[in-house]
Structures are given as C-alpha cells and as structure tokens.
Amino acid sequence: MKKFNIELAVGLFVLAGILSLGYLSVKLGKMEIVGGKGYEIYAIFSNSGGVKEGSNIVIAGVEVGRVKSIVLENYQARAVLSLPRDVKIQEDAIAAIKTKGLVGEKYIEITPGGSDKFISPGGKIRETQPSVDLEELISKLVFEKI
C-alpha cells in the first residue's frame, strides 16, 4: 500500500512537471493554442525593414499584439497583425515600422486615430509608413552639406 502511494506521488510529480514544461514552452514561444482571443487585420508596407513573424505591435509603447505573418504581395510587404479583441483600431490609425534604438529589432507602432469608425476583423489599416532607412537619410544629409 505504501509503495503504491510513492509510485502515485512520483507519477503525479512527473505529470505536473510535463504540464509545466508544456505551459512554459507555450508561454515562452508566445504560441496560441485555441486560436487566441483576438482578431486580425492587415497592412501593406512598401518596405517592411525586416519585420518578422512574431514581431511586436505597440500602441503608446505598450505591446498589444504580434505580427502573425508577413509575405510579399505585389512587391510590397503584407503583414497580418493579430490583436486582442478589446484593442480597437480606428480607421484613420497609422501603422508605422519602427526600430528599437538605432540598430534594435523592428516593430510595428500603431498611432490611434480620431475616427469613430473602427477597422473590422479582416480589414485593412490603410495608413502605413515604411521602415525609415537611417543610413540612407544620413548619407543624404552628409551629401547636402558638401
């Protein structure tokens, strides 16, 4: 009887361990298991500047969502943005590709608009700004000075 109890305890312990590992990998990998609780909209950028699947979507510096996919369409970048349902995006909001610091990772920043119309799931953020090529801008500045 006592032996059985130990075996049960070990079994439960291992099971709990496996579950925690599973939970950790889902959390760390930022995966969504049951479709998530959000909705998706898309945006077209003339230059994605290297935004990747899983890149952050930020409003007022707060991470609100992730880039679900980014593909080439008509020689432009089409990014699908996954957002939580309670974060509504106005029709005149602007999505801009930004860089953390000077050489940091790329993310998409949404500046909320003032329209009373919201983009419905599957809709498009019309106003976008491509990634700004700092190197190119600096070189332009330099050459103008000469």
Partner 1 sequence: MNRTFLIQAMLCLSFTFGMVAPGFAGDPQDQLRETTDKVLSVLSDPDLKSPSKAKERRERIQKIVDERFDWEEMARRSLARHWPQRTPEEKREFVPLFKTLLERVYADKVEGYSWNKILYEGETIDGDYAAIKVKIFTAKDQTLHVEYRTWKKGSHWLIYDFSVEGVGLVNNYRTQFNEIILKSSYQELVKRLKTKSVQN
Binding residue for partner 1, selected from 36, 54, 112, 123, defined by CB under 8 A = 112
Query: Which of 129, 135, 138, 142 is in the footprint of partner 1 by CB under 8 A?
Result: 129
User: Is residue 144 at the binding interface for partner 1, with CB under 8 A as the rule?
Assistant: yes
How many angstroms separate the CA atoms of 90 and 94, rounded?
Answer: 9
Where in 29-68 is the site for partner 1 (CB under 8 A)? 46-47
CB of 115 to partner 1, least distance (A): 9
Q: Which amino acid is at 56?
A: N
What CA–CA distance (Å, rounded) separates 41 from 119? 8
Q: How many helices (H) and strands (E) does the chain have?
A: 2, 8
Rule CB under 8 A: say whether 123 interacts with partner 1. no
* Whole-angstrom distance, CA of residue 110 vs CA of residue 65: 11
Binding residues for partner 1 (CB under 8 A): 46-47, 90, 92, 94, 96, 111-114, 116, 126-127, 129-133, 136-137, 140, 143-144
